[in-house]
Amino acid sequence: MKDSAKAYWLGFDLGGTKMMAAVFGQDFKVVASLRNKTKGVEGTVEVLERIQGTIADALREAGLEPSDLGGIGVGCPGPLDLDRGVILQAPNLSWHDVPLKETLEKRFKCPTVIANDVDAGTYGEFRFGAGRGARCVLGVFPGTGIGGGCVYEGRIIRGRTGSCMEIGHVRVQAEGRLCGCGQRGCLESVASRLAISAEAAAAAYRGEAPALQRLAGTDLAEIKSGTLAKSIKAGDTAVEVIVRNAARHLGSGVANVVNLLAPDIVVLGGGLVEAMPDIVLGEARKTICGQAMKAFTRDLKIVAAELGDNATAMGAAALAADGAAR
């Protein structure tokens, strides 16, 4: 193993339509970062080539060689085999059983770890962001879906071979809407950005959200978190009601997990929180404190994430560094 005092670490965020490689020094300051797209690239081989190319380009931008790396950490969506470093399925990329760890170790000749992207983001917040110094950090990131992660006494809570903490699929309505997982009433079906956007589009169609109609019409692909925030600021009361209701559902789901884990800190992140912190964080906080056991909420901190888009890459790089140090 390379002398860790001289090592650089690379964190990679593999999203559904985008990817980011970031090179960190020993102090975990960013040396170089590079973004690329997965959209428009078809086939496992082609996407793997783009991942490797993005990493190589980031290293060149940093003025480094692969031999300068102490390790690579990758935050990935979808079900994973964490021990073997295999992406079992990534629906947005049409991947099945992709040996990402083996591929990157062969190319860059350094240890590689993979983690669920939300787990990596939560770990990043634990190490460098809003969850620093906590014994137990619960991270919840509402976006297209709703992801969750938990760091307990310095380690990510996980299953035997894969990740866990699928808070987006906690049932919050007995006979609710159909969720993408095939069940009904999941938190994701009522509190994700996609669920909010669908309700907002219906409101715009009915003439109840004129600002949203002007900004994006009823196209779900255009009704993003920032667009929702603009429509509310422009006076779309119907959209604000939809977002507040979703944030209360989010709080209910989080309250259930607070009762199970008694975390020190709940970190809420993602585009919805960044675009509308007062609404989303405020409503979620009130609901969590109103529904979770008082003994668990008395000293509980409920805060917004601090690292933004860098959380997953930073957390993944830290996982690689911490794994090498053990």
CATH number at residue 30: 3.30.420.40
- Give the Cα separation of 213 and 8 in Å (integer): 48
The residues, any chain, with a CB within 8 Å of residue 265's CB and separated by 6 or more, are: 130, 131, 134, 136, 137, 138, 300, 301, 302, 303
Instruction: Say if residue 6's pLDDT is above 70.
Output: no
- Between β-strands 136-142 and 265-268, what pairing exists: parallel, antiparallel or unpaired? parallel
The residues, any chain, with a CB within 8 Å of residue 262's CB and separated by 6 or more, are: 136, 296
213 with 286, same domain: the answer is yes
Length of the chain: 326
139 with 68, same domain: the answer is no
Give domain status of residue 123, yes or no.
no
pLDDT in tens, 44-57: 788 889 999 999 99
How many domains, the chain?
Answer: 2
Residue from 70, 66, 71 nearest 112 by CA: 71
Residue from 249, 91, 269, 254 nearest 185 by CA: 249
Q: Is residue 85 a contact partner of residue 101, using CB atoms and an 8 Å limit?
A: yes
Instruction: Say if residue 20's pLDDT is above 90.
Output: yes
Give domain status of residue 145, yes or no.
yes
pLDDT in tens, 209-223: 999 999 999 999 999
Instruction: Say if residue 9's pLDDT is above 60.
Output: yes
159 with 278, same domain: the answer is yes
Give domain status of residue 103, yes or no.
yes
146 with 285, same domain: the answer is yes
83 with 184, same domain: the answer is no
38 with 186, same domain: the answer is no
DSSP state of 175: T
Give the pLDDT mean for 107-124.
Answer: 96
Give domain status of residue 122, yes or no.
no
290 with 184, same domain: the answer is yes
Give domain status of residue 11, yes or no.
yes
Give domain status of residue 124, yes or no.
no
pLDDT in tens, 50-104: 999 999 999 999 999 999 999 999 999 888 999 999 988 876 667 788 899 999 9
19 with 113, same domain: the answer is yes
What pLDDT score does 291 carry?
97
What pLDDT score does 182 carry?
87
224 with 91, same domain: the answer is no
3-state secondary structure of 190: helix
Provide the token pair at 228: 């929702």
Mean pLDDT estimate for the chain: 92
Which region among 16-30, 228-242, 306-320 has the lowest average model confidence (pLDDT)?
16-30
64 with 8, same domain: the answer is yes
Percent of the chain with pLDDT over 70: 94
**Residue 297's domain spans which residues?**
130-306
What are phi and psi for residue 226, nearest 5 degrees? -65, -35
200 with 90, same domain: the answer is no
53 with 109, same domain: the answer is yes
